[in-house]
Structure 1
């Protein structure tokens, strides 16, 4: 198997174990790059990389590593966060009404999706905050992130107490404004230091 990343090539004399391949990939990328995906003999593999290697390692002739610089990686996270906020806003606006009345199973499902989205957003903001390429105007986003964390705790307590009115109030008066502000701030950062893909 031949392992390539940019100008670098590693040739394995014997069939390596999946762990050896992963270790070599990590060695090639070091701290300067974030792994994106790999191309195994022309097939792009975007997820479950280790599982793919376990099944196919003895058949792969050429494994090309695709990685991003930290700046590119953070730009993609910011674009994903902005896209999530744009998609989530119309959904989240409908939730309070569902909780002020008796929440249906559909409302509860959408609420579950909101909770997952909040967790993902919180993790994304933390990754950006801890990175070396942290945007200059990042403080406003971190203030919003702190507000969001506080409200997640309040929301969890309201859920534990089955207080539907409080759940609706927190979504209406806290999360909707936080989402709107975050979308604006992240958009400003992308326009100032990032790049938007596929603009014609």
Structure 2
């Protein structure tokens, strides 16, 4: 199989040892350049997670593996944009969830809370990643503060979930998490209006 990265090309055997070589190459590229690993394209299929398992399952038949990277600023910008779009849908959905939860808790309510938790995990991954880079978007201090407030709200929410206190859960969703999400969206919008940062991404 062939391993491709930009103009470079490597011939590898179709065996498990080559998987180690692929990830060693990815690490080398990251160390040598101001870039972040994004995903793999395996025989024209984009693979964003569980890369090793995906490769192992198909190791005997893979023809081509492409390494896709992003510049750090580019990754930050793309993720901020995605989170902003996510919040545009999540906030109205959260308000509906709150209204319904005050009337009655159903399987749909619990599923909604699970989905919110997954979204929060993604937001925390973004802040953890950005915190450890030298590239920070404008308004970063406010974004960090907002995410901390969201995280604290989730911590209280999970305490309510553990004891199945549905009134407490609804109150936290309504009076803490919704305003925290709205504030985060406002501060992300400020960062995304920073044309200088965007200009440097291109």
The 8 Å contact of residues 93 and 172 in structure 1, kept in 2 or not, is answered as yes
SS in 2 for 1:194: helix
The alignment's C-alpha RMSD in Å is: 2.3
Check if 1:20 corresponds to 2:21: yes
- Gaps (5+ residues) in structure 1? 196-200
The 8 Å contact of residues 155 and 170 in structure 1, kept in 2 or not, is answered as yes
User: Which structure is higher in helix share?
Assistant: 2
Check if 1:7 corresponds to 2:2: no
How high is the TM-score relative to the length of structure 1?
0.83
Of 138, 141, 154 in structure 1, the residue corresponding to residue 140 of structure 2 is 138
Shift in alpha-carbon separation, 1:117–1:39, aligned structure 2, 3 A:
closer
How high is the TM-score relative to the length of structure 2?
0.82
CA distance in structure 2 between the partners assigned to 1:155 and 1:54 by the alignment: 39
SS in 2 for 1:37: strand
SS in 2 for 1:134: coil
Residues 107-127 of structure 1, C-alpha deviation per residue, up to 9 Å, x if partnerless? 121122122222222222222
1:15-164 alignment, distance < 5 Å:
17=17, 18-30=19-31, 32-40=34-42, 43-47=44-48, 48-164=50-166
